[in-house]
Amino acid sequence: MGQNASVTSPLDQLVSLRKPTRRTLLTPGDAGPVASTKIGGTPWWPKGTPRPRCRQGHAMAFQAQVVLGDAPAPVAGPGLVSFHYCLECAAEGRMSVGYGDPENSGYSVQVFADTSGPHDGLGSVVDGCLPAMRVAFSDAEEVPGLEDAWALKLTLPPELFAEGNDLDEQIGLGLVHVARSKVGGWPTWQQTPAWPTCPEGQRMHLLAQLDYELGEASPWGGGGYAYLFACGSGCRSRAAELVIQTT
């Protein structure tokens, strides 16, 4: 009796979960306060809107911004997400891990739907911890990382996720998971998957991932990641969130 054709193998299930992602190609330098995807340097920030401060009153440091139009579907759309973080709180032992911690106030992830207006002209009000980088992209399709595969209860072939460099993207059997900084796709979790939920009750999508080699001087450096998430384009009110995980 032949094998039931309706039974899908775990490997086929993994392949079916591929998502488009965009590797970041980084060039040192700051393009200034322009509404483009960038890391570090000077943010685009709308005139008349106060810069972020934490609960302790500290001014937060700009980390990165992502133009939603640079992200793959279903996040792609108009607007920009800006990420600030309180380095002063982190230095005092109050490191913010982002979404899900009610005591956290040491970060700000804001969505600006319209970037056609003037910026505030204030430059970098606090020194950041990430190097100023211009961003270009290389497109790929990737499968979930190991932690999401486990969460989905997939029994993976031993050839996948073999021991090697944690930042290698070739994971075996011709499949790819980009473990470096990227826009869109699947997170490279360092702990249990921690997908944020948007105000409309939907699971958010990965907007961007900042790896620990890029952020060596950051609170998540030395083996962690900062993950930015955003609502899909179908949500009535676009929101964004931060998760930080370290080893």
The answer to whether residue 155 sits within a structural domain is yes
The CA-CA-CA angle for residues 243, 108, 96, to 5°, reads 50
Determine which of 123-127, 189-193, 218-222, 234-238 has the lowest per-residue pLDDT on average.
Answer: 234-238
Q: What is the pLDDT of residues 151-180, one digit of tens each?
A: 999 988 888 877 667 778 988 888 999 999
The answer to whether residue 5 sits within a structural domain is no
The answer to whether residue 165 sits within a structural domain is yes
Q: What is the pLDDT of residues 60-77, one digit of tens each?
A: 999 999 999 999 999 999
Number of domains comprising the chain: 1
Which candidate, 140, 138, 136, places its Cα nearest to that of 19?
Answer: 140
The answer to whether residue 3 sits within a structural domain is no
The answer to whether residue 68 sits within a structural domain is yes
Say what the pLDDT of residue 6 is: 53
The answer to whether residue 4 sits within a structural domain is no
Alpha-carbon span 227 to 243, nearest angstrom = 5
CATH number at residue 35: 2.30.320.10
- Please state the rounded mean pLDDT for residues 219-230: 94
Contact 114, 78 (CB under 8 A): yes
Alpha-carbon span 208 to 214, nearest angstrom = 13
The answer to whether residue 81 sits within a structural domain is yes
Say what the pLDDT of residue 222 is: 84
Alpha-carbon span 185 to 23, nearest angstrom = 10
Expressed as residue numbers, the domain containing 152 is 10-245
Identity of residue 107: Y
The answer to whether residue 143 sits within a structural domain is yes
Task: Give residue for tokens 């230095």.
Answer: 91
DSSP states of 66-134 as a string?
Answer: EEGGGSPTTT-SSSEEEEEE-HHHHHTT----BTT-TT--SEEEEEES---S-B-----SS--SS--EE
Please return the burial class of 247, using the count of CB atoms within 10 Å of its CB with bins 0-12, 13-18 and 19+: exposed
Identity of residue 113: A
Determine which of 3-7, 75-79, 219-223, 236-240 has the lowest per-residue pLDDT on average.
Answer: 3-7
Q: What is the pLDDT of residues 97-139, one digit of tens each?
A: 999 877 778 999 999 999 999 999 999 999 999 999 999 999 9
Structure tokens at 100: 């899900």
